Structure 1
């Protein structure tokens, strides 16, 4: 695989493709070329080699990294933190207060991911290296981090996708690094001639009301850019908001029907996929193999999260 060069996004921000799941344009790492060299998201451990290659292409050394920020601790965003930290002797890992202990002891993260990915776990995520507690830096809602003389990042607690999730506001670009709370952007769809933004409703903290509230909170900042964990940047903030909130309602309503009828998550995943295909009927998504495969996976993982949410609701 020939890695793409990092992409300059303006305002001193670069995007490195981590080739998560073996796909280009799936999960990325953002680099701030600031006085305190900072990155957001590591992706899973197999992505670390691409991060190091990307830094080298930018003429940056991992020894210069001061901060490694993870929006949340799911392995496709933070699984590589421990192994990357070994290459960055002066760095701290910046994390939500609910996530810190799981980076120090990732056993529960590993168990959860294995339950979903099963025999694919090793290929996609291994190895998971613990982060030493003395190299963790916790940021609460409203906390800031100065990384350059003109750039101070602000952290916002943004649950909905997970309870250990914050998003990062950058005043220089007037943009938000939204992790998974603002959903997923599919650059493969843009290559096919359309736009597609979908909510990410994976297990096991999905909460639709909290997700909607977090999205509206981010938009209340009058942001001009969204930097997605999956994947890349958009300036079409209103379009992304409308699509994600529309499909959030669809996902939950379809999930309620499937759950009430005693169906399996696989049935819901297929139903959601078919609705997406019908909604975007001017583009034959099935002919765009990579996009279709990613959507099939995402609908399955999102369906598992919806069923998990509904099961908890029925227990209460």
Structure 2
């Protein structure tokens, strides 16, 4: 599906890539680099915001052509890049028969090329160009965000949700929270959002998909939707509802919201939203199951 997972190229002295996406994204990354006048071997830094396979699954494959690259990742994620068995098992539970089509192959990463992206640490990538890493849990507890002070862009991965470019082209900037099994935590997500607000970026770069030009609008959307998602999810949890039922309930709320703007919503937007809400419903119900055991 087009416009689903983004990789960002920072063309500084040390060519830097943020997110690889899954392995099926690697040919598109190489094509994009070529359009910019680069090759895979020119990459010096690869940063993954978190290790879910839609963000890091193509890392091992891409590294075969990046002999000079160093990988930066949260300390809790590093070992899973080197031994991705549990990542693969977890993704198969979510994506089932679609796993091979979406993610195969998932290749291990050599320990020697990995460095931990520590909270508040910086990475110089060129003259007057440096990135600052921040721990931003919520979507996952092994999540980092990256702030590029030179451009004013904060690379948020999934912590600040998902944006829909097909809607944006119609003048609607919808941002929905991104929940996933099995580490989603809404309180941590709000705390991470507050951290980003304090950093004060001029724009936000989403893992799915593209740039948010108005950070204030992003924060407002998360503040609106996240409590609504959690309230609806709690009701379904108490009623022993399935994640499919929760997805349908959330989709109805989002659809009703969008139809306040126009009845002419692109089909591709609805397809993306339904997919995100299906996975998100798993994450929300999983959160309440974990809470009930505490």
The TM tier, using the shorter chain, reads: over 0.9
Following the alignment from structure 1 to structure 2, what is the Cα–Cα distance between the partners of residues 155 and 69?
A: 10
Aligned residue-pair number:
293
Q: Deviations over 1:208-252 (max 9, x none)?
A: 000000001101112111011111112211111100121111110
When the two structures are superposed, what TM-score results if normalisation uses the length of structure 2?
Answer: 0.98
Residue in 1 that maps onto 2:263: 284
Q: Deviations over 1:187-216 (max 9, x none)?
A: 111123311001001111100000000001
Following the alignment from structure 2 to structure 1, what is the Cα–Cα distance between the partners of residues 118 and 42?
A: 25
RMSD: 0.9
Following the alignment from structure 1 to structure 2, what is the Cα–Cα distance between the partners of residues 300 and 39?
A: 29
Following the alignment from structure 1 to structure 2, what is the Cα–Cα distance between the partners of residues 112 and 260?
A: 25
Q: Deviations over 1:113-134 (max 9, x none)?
A: 0001101000000000000000
Matches within 5 A, 1:139-154: 139-154=117-132
Note if 1:93 corresponds to 2:71: yes
Q: What secondary structure is seen at the aligned counterpart in 1 of 2:219?
A: helix
1:254 aligns with one of 232, 248, 254: 232
How far does residue 108 in structure 1 lie from its aligned partner after superposition?
Answer: 0.4
Following the alignment from structure 2 to structure 1, what is the Cα–Cα distance between the partners of residues 255 and 213?
A: 25
Listed as ranges, the gaps of 5+ residues in structure 2 are none
Q: What secondary structure is seen at the aligned counterpart in 1 of 2:118?
A: coil
Following the alignment from structure 2 to structure 1, what is the Cα–Cα distance between the partners of residues 173 and 44?
A: 35
Residue in 1 that maps onto 2:148: 170
Q: What secondary structure is seen at the aligned counterpart in 1 of 2:7?
A: strand
More contact order relative to length (CA 8 Å, sep ≥ 6): 2
Q: Deviations over 1:244-277 (max 9, x none)?
A: 1211111100000000011111111000000011
Residue in 2 that maps onto 1:240: 218
How far does residue 290 in structure 1 lie from its aligned partner after superposition?
Answer: 1.1
Residue in 2 that maps onto 1:116: 94
Listed as ranges, the gaps of 5+ residues in structure 1 are 1-22
Q: Deviations over 1:48-77 (max 9, x none)?
A: 000000001111111111011000000000
Following the alignment from structure 1 to structure 2, what is the Cα–Cα distance between the partners of residues 109 and 129?
A: 11
Following the alignment from structure 1 to structure 2, what is the Cα–Cα distance between the partners of residues 265 and 192?
A: 30
When the two structures are superposed, what TM-score results if normalisation uses the length of structure 1?
Answer: 0.91
How far does residue 291 in structure 1 lie from its aligned partner after superposition?
Answer: 1.0
Following the alignment from structure 2 to structure 1, what is the Cα–Cα distance between the partners of residues 99 and 40?
A: 27
Q: Deviations over 1:154-177 (max 9, x none)?
A: 100000000110000111012210
Q: What secondary structure is seen at the aligned counterpart in 1 of 2:71?
A: strand
Q: Is the 8 A contact 1:97 1:138 kept in 2?
A: yes
Q: What secondary structure is seen at the aligned counterpart in 1 of 2:91?
A: helix
List, as ranges, runs of 4+ consecutive aligned residues in structure 1 with deviation greater than 4 Å. none
Q: What secondary structure is seen at the aligned counterpart in 2 of 1:203?
A: coil
Residue in 1 that maps onto 2:204: 226
